Amino acid sequence: MRLRLCTWNVNSVRLRAEQAAKFVAEQAPDVLCLQEIKCREGEFPREAFVEMGLPYLKIAGQKGWHGVAIASRLPIEDAPALDVCREGHARCVGVTVAGVEIHNFYIPAGGDVPDRAENPKFDHKLDFYEKLTAELAKRDPKAPLAIVGDLNVAPSEHDVWSHKYMSKVVSHTPVEVAAFEALKASLDFIDLPRAARPDPEKMFSWWSYRAADFRASNRGLRLDHILVTPGLKDAAFRLGSAASRVHDDVRAWERPSDHAPVTADLVL
C-alpha cells in the first residue's frame, strides 16, 4: 500500500479549511500533519476533515497560537509522547498509522536575535532541539519512524535564497544548522524531499508575505521537513527514488499560508 504523508503549516486551520479540502481532493494525502492551527481542540473544524475523507484526528490545540494536528484517512493509534517543549506550548502530536510512528512538530521560530543569552525565544528553540535529539537517540533506528513538520531551520545553503545573507538570520545560523544536523544524526534520518531533489538544486517551502510576487522575488526558505529512519528506507525508495515534493502551487492560491505543503510517499 501507498502511504502519502503531508506536512503543512496551514497558518490557521479555520481560515484555510477550504484550501485544505481542495488540496486533499487534488493530492490525496493519507496523513495530513498541520502546524499553526491556531485554535483549541474544540474549535477545530472536525466535520470539514471528515468530509475530506480524513476522519481520524489527533489534535493538540492552543488559544490563538501554535497548535498542531494530524488528520488521517486510516485509523490511528497513540504514539509514545515526544513533548519536549519547556514552555508547555501545543507544538507536538504523535500517532501510529499503518505501523508507522509519525510525530508532527512546530518547533519555535526563535525570534529575531540569534543569541541564547540575549533572546529567550532563541534559547527555547535550541533547547527544544536538544531535548528532542536526546529523546530520539534512545530509539531504534530500524523502527519505522517519521519526524515531520515546520522545524523552522533551513539546513543547507541550497535551502535558502542567499546563504551569505541568511547565515546571520535566525533559521539558518550555524548553531541552528548544527542543531538540525544533530537531530538528523540521532537516528541517521533520511531527508526525503532533499533525496528527491538533491543539492545543489534550490528548494523552498516558505516565502514571506512581504513580496507582492513570491515567485518573482523567490526569497524562500526550506523550513518544512519530512525525515524518516533507516527503518523506512526501503518503503521510501521502493520505486527506485524518493517520491517527495513541495507543492508550491498552493502558495499561489488566494489568501494562502506563507508555507507550502510538502508530501512524501511510502510504499509499505
What's the confidence (pLDDT) of residue 258?
A: 98
Residue 74 CB-half CA count within 13 A: 17
DSSP character at residue 240? S
What's the confidence (pLDDT) of residue 233?
A: 98
Nearest to 202 by CA among 244, 237, 154, 242: 154
Secondary element (H or E) of residue 215: helix 214-217
Secondary element (H or E) of residue 129: helix 120-136
Q: Are 98 and 1 in contact (CB under 8 A)?
A: yes
Question: What are the tens digits of pLDDT across the range 71-96?
Answer: 999 999 999 999 899 999 999 999 99
Instruction: Write the burial class of residue 26 (CB in 10 Å: 0-12 exposed, 13-18 middle, 19+ buried).
Output: exposed
Q: Are 92 and 102 in contact (CB under 8 A)?
A: no
Secondary element (H or E) of residue 184: helix 174-186
Q: Are 256 and 187 in contact (CB under 8 A)?
A: no
Tell me what the mean pLDDT of segment 199-214 comes to.
Answer: 95
110: left (phi over 0), alpha (psi -120 to 50) or beta: left
- Domains in the chain: ranges and CATH: 2-267 (3.60.10.10)
What's the confidence (pLDDT) of residue 53?
A: 98
Q: Is the pLDDT of residue 261 over 90?
A: yes
Nearest to 5 by CA among 222, 242, 213: 242
Please report where in the chains the cell 484555510 appears, as a residue: 16
pTM of the complete model beyond 0.85? yes
| Strand, helix or coil for residue 2 | strand
Q: Are 226 and 150 in contact (CB under 8 A)?
A: no
Question: What are the tens digits of pLDDT across the range 245-260?
Answer: 999 999 999 999 999 9
Of all residues in the chain, what percent carry a pLDDT higher than 70? 100
Question: What are the tens digits of pLDDT across the range 157-199?
Answer: 999 999 999 999 999 999 999 999 999 999 999 999 999 999 9
Q: Going by DSSP bridges, is the β-strand pair 100-106/68-72 parallel, antiparallel, or unpaired?
A: unpaired
Question: What are the tens digits of pLDDT across the range 118-162?
Answer: 999 999 999 999 999 999 999 999 999 999 999 999 999 999 999
Which residues have a Cβ under 8 Å from the Cβ of 26 and sit 6 or more positions away?
A: none
120-136 vs 174-186: helix crossing angle, rounded to 10: 20
Instruction: Write the burial class of residue 152 (CB in 10 Å: 0-12 exposed, 13-18 middle, 19+ buried).
Output: buried
CA distance 62 to 46: 16
Residue type, 101: E
What's the confidence (pLDDT) of residue 212?
A: 86
What's the confidence (pLDDT) of residue 83?
A: 87
What's the confidence (pLDDT) of residue 239?
A: 83
Residue 22 CB-half CA count within 13 A: 12
CA distance 171 to 109: 7
CA distance 114 to 133: 20
